[in-house]
């Protein structure tokens, strides 16, 4: 797949790069994408939720009244879940939400997500760029020049760049990630992918 290369002014450089069809040109496998997104979202959950059960409530264990002869129902201690302030029945306990997804399925999911974006025409290749200091206005100007500022753009760089990260983090709906950390959830969440030239080889390694 041939795609034009743009500069930071949004102008075509007259050059093009070849994106491998085995990564950007396959038929998207929706189930693998669903599995990988589910795996990612589950991993974000802390799983530290906890409520007190009957045995953990602070209160007397004295039987409230005798078993028979009162004309009322049978009652145990005040920690009964039926009473105000009693323990919770089957409340949440700390747990791990992680699920296992095979590495081959994760790679297929990334390729499927990239192929879906390529098929929709939402991938833009730009020349490598960097800043000497955080410049949010300059970063936003680049996104506006490419007409992607209002499309939840994800900028993919060849390596982690602190200045680019600081420049991007205050732009609404815009995100940035190095190619080595790119995951299916980020790709699917983005409306457009702005990929630096140096990131293409790293994406190939991440999806092989």
Distance, in Å, from the CA atom of 140 to the CA atom of 144, rounded to the nearest integer, reads: 6
- Residue 207 has a pLDDT of 84
- pTM for the predicted model, two decimal places: 0.84
Q: Would you state the structure tokens that stand for residue 206, as one six-digit string?
A: 């991440």
Burial group, residue 197, by CB count within 10 angstroms (0-12, 13-18, 19+): middle
Distance, in Å, from the CA atom of 127 to the CA atom of 122, rounded to the nearest integer, reads: 17
Half-sphere exposure of 136 (CA within 13 A, CB side): 8
DSSP, collapsed to helix, strand or coil, labels residue 108 as helix
Distance, in Å, from the CA atom of 205 to the CA atom of 181, rounded to the nearest integer, reads: 11
Distance, in Å, from the CA atom of 183 to the CA atom of 59, rounded to the nearest integer, reads: 49
Distance, in Å, from the CA atom of 162 to the CA atom of 94, rounded to the nearest integer, reads: 35
* Rounded-to-10 torsion of CA 161, 164, 167, 169: -70
Domains of the chain: residue spans and CATH? 2-45+99-207 (3.40.1370.10), 47-96 (no CATH)
pLDDT above 90 for 1: no
Tokens 């970063």 belong to which residue?
139
Model confidence pLDDT, tens digit, residues 88-133: 999 999 999 999 999 999 999 999 999 999 999 999 999 999 999 9
Model confidence pLDDT, tens digit, residues 6-32: 999 989 999 999 999 999 999 999 999
- What is the overall mean pLDDT for the chain? 93
Model confidence pLDDT, tens digit, residues 51-68: 999 999 999 999 999 999
- Residue 206 has a pLDDT of 85
Closest CA to 179 of 195, 144, 203, 198: 203
């Amino acid at each position: 797949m041939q795609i034009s290369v743009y500069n930071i002014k949004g102008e075509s450089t007259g050059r093009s790069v070849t994106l491998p069809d085995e990564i950007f040109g396959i038929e998207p496998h929706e189930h693998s994408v669903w599995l990988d997104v589910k795996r990612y979202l589950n991993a974000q959950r802390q799983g530290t939720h906890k409520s007190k059960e009957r045995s953990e409530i602070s209160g007397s264990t004295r039987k409230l009244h005798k078993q028979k002869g009162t004309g009322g129902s049978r009652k145990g201690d005040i920690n009964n879940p039926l009473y105000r302030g009693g323990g919770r029945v089957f409340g949440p306990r700390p747990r791990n939400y992680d699920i296992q997804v095979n590495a081959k399925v994760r790679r297929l999911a990334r390729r499927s997500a990239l192929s879906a974006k390529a098929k929709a025409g939402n991938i833009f290749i730009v020349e490598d760029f960097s800043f000497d200091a955080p410049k949010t206005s300059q970063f936003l100007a680049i996104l506006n020049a490419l007409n992607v500022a209002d499309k939840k753009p994800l900028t993919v760089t060849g390596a982690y760049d602190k200045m680019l990260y600081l420049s991007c983090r205050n732009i609404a709906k815009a995100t940035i990630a190095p190619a080595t950390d790119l995951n299916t959830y980020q790709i699917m969440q983005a409306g457009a992918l702005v990929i630096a030239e140096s990131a293409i080889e790293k994406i190939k390694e991440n999806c092989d």
